[in-house]
Every structure is written in structure tokens, then in C-alpha cells.
Structure 1
Amino acid sequence: MGARVVFMGTPDFAVPSLEALLASGYEVVAVVTQPDRPKGRKRVLTPPPVKVRAQAAGIPVLQPERLREPAAVDAVLSFRPDVVVTAAYGQILPKALLEAPPRGCLNVHASLLPKYRGGAPIHRAILNGETETGVTIMTMAEALDAGDILSQVRVPIERTDTAGTLHDKLARAGAQLLLETLPRWLRGEITPQPQDHAQATYAPNLTRADERIDWTAPAEAVYNRVRGLHPWPVAYTTTADGQVLKVWWGTPRPGRADAPPGTVVAVEERAVVVATGDGLFALEEVQPAGKTRMPVAHYLRGAGRAVLAPGTRLGMEAE
């Protein structure tokens, strides 16, 4: 393709974009990713997915702790990129790097900008009950996700989508959009369109508070929280004895109960039905503290029989 590309990305979301560049014959001269981090209970030092893919392709990998350090910028620019392509890299690019490549720096972002700027656009779209999102390719600016738009593609959010399934759809859509956009950008055929900053909304990184189920919310909002945090970081509630109970899956039920929100109103063979602020929600897959995830039916054969007995209340710490 002629252009020298430095690719910057870290998690699984970025891998399809890197693979698309490689498969299409772009000269990816270097990959920049976050440093290896400890993961899991045993805190094993683990390389980012993008590093693993880059090394398999024999591409030089840079992992600066702080990209803003002049030495880190110099290291990236030593590869003389014509264009820098980023996807979920995880650090703000400094001005010295943004201004250096002849064809600039482009970013693959998992939302229809200016909506959902920030680090958790996929989770937030589902948490907020959106029925559509998408991918934007933009030029990069010093402000957060505020660059000019080059192209967008819309992706529907199905009612059964989780953060995990939507992540995979958007990663694939972003890779395809990148292949459609980059050659036209390099040929000078795209006029960047400024964002309407007055319409901007934000998708900040998730906090522990975001993970807690609010049983006073409608059942539909509880459902959006459960699927919007699946398979990571997973929604949770607390049992009557104060133990954390992760909720891997559940679904709204028709009807309503004359009971305070969070009250267990029925125990079935495969579900435990809980009252919400509006409607009912059926717990179907849970993870008790110190245990692995399991169907509610399995939990009810042990400690769950008492913990989720009719009349007990979940999430009392929310009051």
C-alpha cells in the first residue's frame, strides 16, 4: 500500500483492526501498546492481546509506560510513520506525536461520535438502553475523542446483546470501516467533518458503583445493567447477610409484586424472581462469593436455598 503505518492499540478490540491492516498489505512498521500487566488472582504478568498478535507477525513492539515522555515519542517517530492508526490504545497522544506523521493520526472509536466519548462506550450504550451504536474513525486531537470525523458505520444493539457480543460486533465493524476509510484518507479524498461538541456525551470508565444492581430501578434497567456488564466486570448485588452475589444473567418477567424492591418473591426450579421498582426480574445465573459462576438451580441445591428464600431482600446496602 506504500504508506508506513504505526499501529497503537492494547485490548482485544484493537486486534481485528491490526489484522485487517496486515491482511490488506499495509506496511505496519511498529506496534505501540501498553506495558504487560498482572492479571488474575495469581497476578501473572500478561502481555496485551495486540502485543501477542504483533509478535506473531514479527512486528517491532514498543510498550512505553508514559507515551508523553520525549524518549517515547522519539522511539515511535524513529519508525518514520506516514500515518498512525490507534484503536483503544489507552493513553492520550501528546501534541508532538499528533503533529508529526504526514497523514496524521487516526482513531477507531466504538461509538457514533460525538456520543459516548471516553473509555467505556460499549458498556455505557447498553447500560443506557440504547438500540443503536456504531464505530467512528476520526482524526486525533489533544482533547478526549474530539477530533474530526472521517467516517462512521451504524451497528444495531439487539435486545440479547451483551457488552461481550457487542464488543465483538464493533471490533469487526471497526476493522472493516478502517479498510474502507484509510486508502481514501491517504489519497486525500476525505474532507474531515468537525464534531458538534454541543451534542457530546461521555462514557467514563466503569466504577464499582456502576456494577451494583439498583433494585429500585425498573426491571428493564436491571436487565440492561446485567447484560451491559457481561462478561466483564459483571453486575452484583448483596444478600441479606451482606455477601456479594454476582449476577451473570437474568431476564425481566411480566407482572409486578406487592413487595419492596429487592425482595425475593418466588423461587422456581431454574430461577429466583425478585421485585424491582417496576416489574420483576428473574435471576438465572449467579456467582456466590468465593465460588465459580453457576446456574441458580445449582445454587439452590446448596446455600442458595436459605440465601434466596422467599421474603429475603437483596441489595439492602443501596438504601
Structure 2
Amino acid sequence: MLLLQGPVLGLCSRRLNPRLYSTKSYDPLRILFCGSDDFSIASLKALHAYHLKQPDRIASIDVVCRPGKKVGRGLKKIREVPIKAAASDLSLPIHEIDTFTGWTPPASINLIVAVSFGLFVPSRVLNSAKYGGLNVHPSLLPNFRGPAPLHHTLLAGRTTTGVSLQTLHLKHFDHGTILSQTPDPGFDVPNPETCTVPELVDVVAPKGAQLLVNGLKEGLFVPPVVDAGWRAAQGSDTLIHAAKIKPEDRHIDWTNWSLLNINRRSRVIGPLWSKALVTSHAPDGTRPSFQQKRVILTDMEEVDPPKGCGSFSLVPGLPFVEGGHPVEPRKGKALYVFTSDSKVMRINRMKVEGEQDAEGLRAAIKARMFGDRTFISGGMEFVPFRNPLV
């Protein structure tokens, strides 16, 4: 009997699974790296470290980023994309463009790498590079395709996630061939009930960077490429599209959003908002006018229902005050609101459109958001808003 040991066994394994151990040959890479944020910075730094270690594999790296945007009062300040500073620290050539129209990459470029870039790399640019393009995506594709995969992973309450390395498709975002991917079921989301997007970035960014470098080492991008996606054959009806986060995604749907949903959205995408009717009293004593204004709820928390609150307060989105008419803020008085699943939230702070951020009840009084009637229930007096938040 012949026992396979040591190097002999290793040789046999290579023959059984050449994908895991063979490396395709390719020309020294001259990379055009397209990025923007902290997730892409991790990949850029990993590529640069590999370039310094093995310049025969990565000969050069040029960086493409979007131009800085004017921000602040009077638009006098320029906010640069984070990757620009990172590329400058690494002494890499930087190209700032807001569109690929009319722009041509350096002639020596033979591979495009786009990580959290935002602009679609056109076929003209991809076809000009010998090895086409690669993308690192922070999800287990094809699930959570789209520009905001980390946000939607947390919004969906997922406890595991992963990263994928794919080719850049000539016509669509996130539809390239998956070259490598975190094995199913992925790795754990840290503290999924409290995790924020920056915290998740800290976990997925280095994993995505390592996946990219490993893919280059193995030459997975060299034709013919092999699809390694573990969910490639799964039906699209079970997949979530990670659409761009828009202001309307922060607009609370009081009728349908549970307390869990409200808390999760506030944690993941920032302060939520509603609209409320406010009163404007005319100085000459004529009939007051009413105006709908945006209300940003900057600080909310779950609390037990105040004792004795009437059934009127069970209306989702109808804020109320316990303990008498709110002529002025008093110690122990607060602003409450019921959610669609009959949970109570206390509005600690909010910002009414046109006003400064303030304690919740004080902001409501200043904006004249209350009605003229009080409601008596269980021996206690409650004052509702003039109308529910919408």
C-alpha cells in the first residue's frame, strides 16, 4: 500500500483543485483605482503595500476620485473626498473627475479597480484596459446589489454579511462575474442590535481589501474568468436591492413603522423626521394661520406608557403631554408619541423647521404645535398636538 504524505499529498491536492493553488500569469499591473470613502481607502492601502512588496506584480497605481464639493454657509469651504488625502499620503498620482465623458485614462493602464466609487465606469474605459475592471462589494452578491449595501444590511436586521470580488460589468452596476466571495453564511455583524455603518465598515473594509489582493495574487481576473458566486443560481425574488439612501427614507411612516423599525432607521441612516401643523398668530388679533413644517426628531427613546393616558393617544404619530396644559415647560413634563405597534417613545429633543434644536416639549410650545383642548383620562390631564405628525 502506498501512503500519500507531505509534499506528495500537497501535489495531489493541487491536481484535484487547481483553482485553489494555481496562479495565472499576467503582465505587471498598472492600476487605475477609483474610490471615495473609508471602505475604498482600505483596498487602496492594501494594493499599495502589495505594490511595494512585489513591484513586479503591481507596477503602478493611479487614483481617480470625485472633485471636492462646496459646503457650509456661503459655500466657501471645500469638502474633499477622503480617498484624496489617502492617495496624497501614499504619493500616488491623482485624477479628479466628475464624469468620464471626455476623459481618457493614462495609456499604460491595464486594469481598472473601482471600490465604493459612485460613478459608472463606461465600456470605453474598461475595454481600453487589457484586463478590464474589478470591484470589491461589501455584501454576498447578488444579494444587496446597489450603492448602499451596508445600510441595507443593517436595516434588514442581518446578523451576518460578507464581501465579494467581481468584474466590472460593461452595462450595469454589480452584475459582473463573481470571482471570489466570503464563504456562506458569511462573517458576523458586530453587535447587530446596535451596530452602526461606520462600525460595520471597520469590519468589512479590511476583509474586502484582503479579498482584492488575494484575487490579484491568484490572477482571478485573467480570462477566462470563473464564476465563484455561491448564490448565483438563487432566485431573485429573495434578494434585496440596496438602493441609494434618500431623505424620504428618514420620513417616519407612523402608520406602518414599528418601534424596532424606527430605532433601527434612526441608528443606521440618521435623525428621522415628520411634519406637523404649527400656528401663526397675527399681531392684529385676526384669525391665526396654520402652516405645515418639518420636524426633525434628534433624540428619542422608548419608555413605559404614562399611567392613565386616554385611547386618543394610541393613534400612531399623535404626540401628547402628560400632566396638564403645556403653557410652559415644567419639570417632569415630556412629549410622548405612540408607534404603530403601540409602543411609546419620548421625544427628548427635536428641531422644528426654522428653529434651533431644543428639548422636545419646549420646541413644540415655541412652534405653537398644540391644540386648545385638553383630554381628561383616569384623573389626569393630557394635551394632544393639533394633528398627528405626518
TM-score, normalized by length of structure 1? 0.80
Deviations 1:244-271 (A, max 9, x none): 3323454445779841001335679698
Task: Identify the range of structure 1 (47-56 vs 170-179) with the bigger mean alpha-carbon deviation.
Answer: 170-179
- What is the identity, as a one-letter code, of the residue corresponding to 2:163? V
Contact 1:262-1:315 within 8 A present in 2 as well: no
**Counterpart in 2 of 1:105?**
133
**Counterpart in 2 of 1:264?**
319
Contact 1:262-1:314 within 8 A present in 2 as well: no
Please state if 1:237 is matched with 2:274.
yes
Distance 1:181 1:281 in 2: 48
Contact 1:34-1:64 within 8 A present in 2 as well: yes
Q: Structure 1 residues 274, 181: closer, same or farther in 2, change over 3 A? A: farther
Distance 1:314 1:163 in 2: 36
Contact 2:319-2:388 within 8 A present in 1 as well: no
2:217 to 178, 183, 187: 183
Distance 2:206 2:349 in 1: 28
Contact 2:350-2:360 within 8 A present in 1 as well: no
Contact 1:299-1:305 within 8 A present in 2 as well: no
**Count of residue correspondences:** 306
Deviation, 1:220, is: 1.0
2:228 to 165, 169, 193: 193
Deviation, 1:86, is: 0.9
Distance 1:223 1:81 in 2: 46
TM-score, normalized by length of structure 2? 0.67
Distance 1:96 1:214 in 2: 44
Distance 2:299 2:47 in 1: 36
Q: Structure 1 residues 2, 122: closer, same or farther in 2, change over 3 A? A: same
**Counterpart in 2 of 1:165?**
199
- What is the identity, as a one-letter code, of the residue corresponding to 1:238? K
Deviation, 1:223, is: 1.3
**Counterpart in 2 of 1:135?**
163
Task: Identify the range of structure 1 (95-104 vs 183-192) with the bigger mean alpha-carbon deviation.
Answer: 183-192
Q: Any stretches of 5+ residues in structure 1 without a counterpart?
A: none
Helix, strand or coil for the counterpart of 2:78?
Answer: strand
Task: Identify the range of structure 1 (251-260 vs 107-116) with the bigger mean alpha-carbon deviation.
Answer: 251-260
- What is the identity, as a one-letter code, of the residue corresponding to 1:263? L
- What is the identity, as a one-letter code, of the residue corresponding to 2:98? E
Q: Structure 1 residues 17, 50: closer, same or farther in 2, change over 3 A? A: same
Which structure would you say has the larger Rg?
Answer: 2
1:220 to 257, 260, 281: 260
1:14 to 35, 40, 62: 40
Q: Structure 1 residues 34, 239: closer, same or farther in 2, change over 3 A? A: same
**Counterpart in 2 of 1:209?**
248
Deviation, 1:161, is: 1.3
Distance 1:265 1:186 in 2: 61
Q: Structure 1 residues 276, 149: closer, same or farther in 2, change over 3 A? A: same
Q: Structure 1 residues 300, 247: closer, same or farther in 2, change over 3 A? A: closer
Contact 1:226-1:249 within 8 A present in 2 as well: no
Helix, strand or coil for the counterpart of 2:162?
Answer: strand
Helix, strand or coil for the counterpart of 1:99?
Answer: helix
Distance 1:117 1:77 in 2: 30
Distance 1:207 1:94 in 2: 25
C-alpha RMSD over aligned residues? 3.4
Contact 1:227-1:249 within 8 A present in 2 as well: no
Q: Structure 1 residues 129, 254: closer, same or farther in 2, change over 3 A? A: farther
